[in-house]
Amino acid sequence: MSDPAQELRDFKKEKDFLIGIDSDGCAFDTMEIKHKECFTPNIINEWDLQAVSKYAREASEFVNLYSKWRGINRFPALIMVFDLLSEREEVKKRGVEMPKVDSLRKWIEKETKLGNPALEKIVKETNDPVLARTLKWSKEVNNTVAKFVRGVPPFPFVRESLEAMSKIADILVVSATPGEALVREWKEHGIDKYVKVIAGQEMGTKKEHLAIATEGRYDKDKVLMIGDANGDMKAAHANNVHFYPINPGNEDASWEKLLKESLKKFTEGKYAGKYEEKLIAEFNTYLPETPPWKLK
């Protein structure tokens, strides 16, 4: 079986610096439309949560948009939504039980390439009804995304930042989104020309993307991961490389700061230490851990 990450292993280093960029919610303002119009309605429909749709929507949006789990892979996110709903008193009062998804939990624990190809493979092998239902949901999400998400340009200052970065660094897209959707979006807006590889969920986790791309190629101090979510920061830290946060809800200002100030500090070796720590401290204030309904 061919290695889905082969393209990452094979790309040729041309610059001393490497910059990884997340896509949804980081380069593109697509997180809101994808989750509110595509993911969440399909969770409610495919998993029969109509009776608690209001609470399902709140849980889905908290996990995927407004918490420290923002940007995580769709399959662990789905389980988190079910778990949050199962604890909620309003849901219990309505007598709605969450789907039993033990086989999905086990698959997530074992599989690192959490995408439809790997899921299709295990469904064929096991005929597991929960995994088959998960695959159906995931395909419906992709179909809805393909219908809904178009004409959403990159955030202001992204194009200018890519232009500036491309002169001094090799650039990768590092994302948990399916590769097909990533390629479509980056090509639609003509910014795919700036990047070496567009790495989606089929190539592994963001942590794995960075590990494969950097191994034996780049000085760790010359690698930067740009992202809008805790998972992006964790992927950077797991690989001992730098992180630049795009603050959710304040993306324009984050990109402008990167273009006009932070990129220069990074290439001049002045990014590490207090400067990076201050950016991350501010970023951490944007993404809470506790759902708002638990604070009431």
Q: Convert the pLDDT of each residue in 114-149 to its tens digit.
A: 889 999 999 999 999 999 999 999 999 999 998 998
Distance CA 272, CA 81 (A): 36
Q: Is the pLDDT of residue 296 over 80?
A: no
Residue 16 CA to residue 173 CA, distance in Å, equals: 17
Residue 113 pLDDT grade (very low, low, confident, very high; cuts 50, 70, 90): confident
In the predicted model, is pLDDT for residue 3 greater than 90?
A: no
- Residues 171-195 have a mean pLDDT of 93
* φ and ψ of 176, to 5 deg: -100, 10
CB 253 within 8 Å of CB 247 = yes
Domain boundaries defined on the chain: 6-29+154-284, 31-148
Given a cut of 80, is residue 165 above it in pLDDT?
yes
CB count within 10 Å of CB 1 equals: 4
Query: Is residue 18 within 8 Å of residue 170, measured between CB atoms?
Result: yes
Mean predicted lDDT score pLDDT of the chain: 95
Per-residue pLDDT at 34: 92
CATH class of 6-29+154-284: alpha beta
- Give per-residue pLDDT as tens, 192-215: 999 999 999 889 899 999 999 999
Residue 85 pLDDT > 90, yes or no?
yes
Q: Over range 171-180, report the average pLDDT.
A: 92
3-state SS, 31-59, equals: HHHHHHHHHHHHHHHHCCCHHHHHHHHHH
Q: In angstroms, rounded to a whole number, what is the distance separating the alpha carbons of residues 124 and 131? A: 10
pLDDT for 180 beyond 70: yes
Are residues 148 and 184 in contact, defined by beta-carbon separation less than 8 angstroms? no
What pLDDT shows up at residue 291? 94
